[in-house]
Each structure stands twice: as structure tokens, then as C-alpha cells.
Structure 1
Amino acid sequence: MASIELSRIVKTYGDHPVLHGVDLSIADGEFIVLVGPSGCGKSTLLRMIAGLESISSGTLKIDGREVNDLKPKDRDIAMVFQSYALYPHMSVADNMSYSLRLRRSPKEKIAAAVAAASAKLGLDPYLARRPKALSGGQRQRVAMGRAIVRQPKAFLFDEPLSNLDARLREQMRAEIKRMHGEFGATSVYVTHDQIEAMTLATRIVAMNAGEVQQIGAPLDLYDRPANLFVAGFIGSPGMNFLEGQISGQEMQSAVRLTNGTLVPLGRNPGLSERTPVTLGIRPEHVAIRPAAGGVEATVELVEPTGLGIILHLTVHGVAFKIFTADRALLTPGERLTVGFPVERLHLFGPDGARIALDPTPIAA
């Protein structure tokens, strides 16, 4: 196993910058998930760790050894691609053993490694088949098996499940998590899938426009997003945002929304009257028909999900979503009152950075 250290990593293509000085320390045995929108640089960063992309500037170390100029085959890292990258003319067993045969490993060692990986991944019935005779999920297991037999220092995954249907993604996600628990291998995983990131990661690295926005445990990013980007990107359905400005003093303040509605904040350190802010609340935390207070909203669309319903609303002209397990029938055009529990609110300043709130009730 291995630690991976990235220090001020920069990548440019000609005059076009892609990564802007990324710093990331990955401990031995961690499962790091890189998330972000298309074009944010997460796959480029993964390929740089693998040695498939050159580093424009900065330092990359694996197990304390600088590897900037080391060839991919000399980094002792295995990569699992989105496209499987299997040799179509080889059997499953030959695909899995290919890297060991290139190293001229003893036949007994190769056979034992393939047998062990095959048993763990449920591939024993398919060892003589070629890739074209396998399903997408089976092919992805072969690609994972090929990585496992090498016993590398680290595993790199580049959106490995994006070509699979929903049920197979669920199965393979569980398989990858089980494999990591069993092998304890250092892993770096790129995905745009929220569930994959939240369920697999030891830590999530949220990226945007070539920069790291936040690094932390999955629930840290979900409960305490560092800025508006992370708040809007992590979570499905995404966080709701309402614009307003601070009203009142910091020990007894509220956000005055654009329509004049006041939303109490509790204790609010460091913001003065009329400071422009963005109020955030997750769809599952919105109160429907609160006992007191609230904001008038209009139902635009109702989406049943099985677990509950997603309500698409407009709150004074702003699109808004609620997720609720209450399946009580609501219809488009219906009006209702929604409330924002102070302990569930997120507040972001004019620069988009998170502002810490103290939801403790204020004494009269």
C-alpha cells in the first residue's frame, strides 16, 4: 500500500490552464473520491497520478518518492477505466494475468493470483470466455480483477461504473467497497455520481474549474459545505437557495428575503445590517405547513420516488424543491406554507463562503 502526496500540482495545455496548484495528501489505505462537474480537472488529476498525463509544475510523490518523471509501468499503480480496456482476443483468465505474464512471474504465482481474484469477484464460471461473451458488469469485474492480481500500491478508478445500468452500479459499488475493506488498498476514485461519492469515500475532494473547493468526510461536505459551489453540488436533490440581506444585529438577526419575508437566524457573528447573503436549506429539511411563520409557495410539479415525493415549488418566483416521505396527494397549482428550521439553515456571504451560525434560541 502507499501514501500519495500532491503539492502545488499545475496542468496547462498550451496557454489553457486546467489545474491551478492542487494540494492533496492521501494517507495509506484511504479511499479518496474526486467529484465535480465535467471539465473541472478531476480525470486529468487522476491521469497525472497514473503517469498518463505530464505534470506542468508541482510535485507528485508516491510512498515519499517523487515520481513526476517516472513511467506509468514503474509507479506500481493499477487503473480501472470506464471503458474496461480489455483485450478482446484474450480470455478472462488471460486478461487478468496479462500484467503478471509481462513481468515473467512464475506460472504458479500467476495461477494463484488469478484464482484468488476470480473467487473474490465471482468470475470462476467465466475464466475461459472472451470479453464479447460477458455482460457489462462482468467485464467491469474482469477489469477490477486484472488490477487486483498485480497487488499494486494504489488503485485508480476513472468513472468505472458510468456505463452500467442502475442495478449493476449498485452491485458493483458494493463490490468495490467490500474489496477496499478486504484489501485496505489506497484508492483514488473519480465520479460525478453523488451516491458513489457519499457511500465509497473516506474523504471527498470537491473540485471546480481546476481548483479544490473542499476536502472532508462525506457528511462534513453534506452538513457543512465550505461554499456555495459545494452546497449546490453535493446532495440530490440539490440545496435550495434564496437571496436576501441581513436584518438586525448579530445577536438577534434574520435574513430579509427579496419579498420582505424575515427568516430568523439565531446568533449570527460578524455580519452587519444589510449585508447581502444567500440562504440555503436542503429539500429534506424544509418544513411543510409549519405551526408558526413560514413562506407562501406554489406547487408546480410532483415527482413520486417510491421513498417519498419531490415537490417542485416556486417561492416568490424562485424555483424550490422539497423532499418528503409524506405521500399525501398534492397537485400542481396548490398553495402551501413552507418553513425553514433555524438549525437546518446554511448561510453564505457575498463571496460565497460559508458563514457559521449558532442556532441556539435567543433569550427574550
Structure 2
Amino acid sequence: MEYRRLGKSGLQVSALSFGSWLTFGNQISDNVADELMGVAYDAGVNFFDNAEGYAEGKSEIVMGNIIKSQKWERDTFVVSSKVFFGAERKGPNQMGLSRKHIIEACHAALKRLQVDYLDLYFCHRPDKNTPIEETVFAMNTLLQQGKILYWGTSEWSAVEIMEAIAVAKQYNLIGPTMEQPQYNLFERNKLENEYLHLFNNHGLGTTIWSPLASGILSGKYTNGGVEGTRLALEGLEWLKDRTLAADRMEKATALQELANSLDVPLAKLSIAWCLKNPNVSTVILGASKVPQLQENLKVLDVVPLLTEEVIAKIEAIVQTKPIVPQF
């Protein structure tokens, strides 16, 4: 396993990490979840990603039970939670980024995960109804109390992150260390354009999600079949429609042919492409089956195959490279 610094921080995270969105407490059994985490940990994965909103808190309960039963030394793994969407209850003060919800959500996550502190704590979305000063101060309070070690954002704009950094500097507080954006061959603008100033001048780290674009870059949806996959889950019709859009299907098919010519699975080619970006601290893998995870954990072997020539072929297929303004 390769380990990378989380932005300018001293924390090192495995280049491949493991997340529980849509699977833990929902799509897979607790026994399978236990086996998946064990496989990941044994392969050198040290970062496990979670959130209060995943399966309305049940995902964190499942992960907490696994962490407790595995009896891993606390300094051998990094665990996260995210705050914004609320867990099982969705009252007026049980969602968002108010000081009240941030503090209470952290306490609830610690209880569900059965740990004394969170390594990473993310603001899962920006909150238009809460002053950014209130959010930054609340996160700083948790840092001072030792309940979280680093805080960051997820799916914030560069402007919003810069505002949080400015507030932290103004009041001598600790600002955000990392952002968790979607990043894959179809979603590239934030990592390759919008965040460049944050990478170059503020050392922002990234824990990217959906490297397989909700599965289409795994090749399994090429024929449009979703039975038995996460896209068949009730309530995810929006994800199914976006993922299986005709143009993406066309490009995924062409990428599959390229992967075949390199004798590698499309999933591994797609994840390796994400790892080539030096501003990616870690790629979060999701899995519902052990063989699937075991295969994708070998992706570091594929990275050297991504020569300039292969990258050029990929770009010619997807045509999604952002146009970066030249100043």
C-alpha cells in the first residue's frame, strides 16, 4: 500500500481507503461488512469513511461494532464522520451546520462508532442558513476538546472553502484541512480547475469519492442491467438515471475496449487514473462483495500502465478535461 499526506497536514492516509456509503446498514449484511473491513485493513488500508447520514446512522453503528470486535490498535486506523444531513431524526436542530448540531452530531458519531475521537470530521454540505463563522468556531471547539483531529468539507465550492479559511485566519482558528469531492473521469472540474488555488496556496487535501462514477466505470452497467446493484435500491432512481445517461454509457463502452487492450479491468483503470492526480490524497473505494474489493485493492499495480499515450487515448474518449483559465 502507498501512503500519502493529507494535504499539508502531517497525517498519512492510504492511497486507497474504504467507505460505507449505500452498503453498510443497507445493501449488505453486517457479516459481509465485517469481512470487507478486515480485507481492506489487512491490505494496508488505514482510512475508513463514514457519515451521520449514511443509512440514517446505522452505517456508523455497523462500523463501530466491527472496529470494536476487530480490536485494532487505535493508532493504526483513521475514521471519519460527516455532519449536515442528520441521522435518524430530522428536526430543525438535528440537521445543518449550526454549533448545536455540529457538537451534538459529533457526540452521537463518537457513540455510534465507539471511539474516543474522530480523526476526520467533514461538513457534508455547505449550510446557507448558518454563518460560516459559527461553523468554523464550532469545529475549532471540537479540535480543542480533542474530539476531532482534523476538520474539512465535502462538496463545497472553492469560494466557500476560501471563506472558511479566511475566517480561521482572522480569528486564529484552525481551518479546513481536507475536502471530499466527487472525482472520476466524468466529474473533474473541482479537482482539476476550481480547487487549484486551494491546492497550490493552502495545501488542501482530498479524500475523493465515486471514482467509478456510481459503477458505470466498473463496466457492469454497460448493458443497462441494474438488478442486484445499488442502482436498484429504492430511492436511488435519480442516481440510476444520471449514471446510465446515454453519452456516459457510450464512453464507458469505449473505455472498456481500451481496458481490454491493456488486459486490465475497467474499474482498475478508472481508479488508477484518479490516483495519477497528485492532488488526490486518497481514493475511497466502496464494495458489496469481497472479491470485488480484493481486485480493486490491487490497483496500484495498474498505475504504471497509464503512460502519456494511454492517458491521451482516455482523454480522446471521455473529452471531459476542464478548460483551465490562463492568467
TM-score, normalised relative to structure 1: 0.30
TM-score, normalised relative to structure 2: 0.32
Per chain length, whose mean CA-contact separation is higher, i.e. which structure has more relative contact order (CA < 8 Å, sep 6+)? 2
Higher Rg: 1
More helix by share: 2
More strand by share: 1
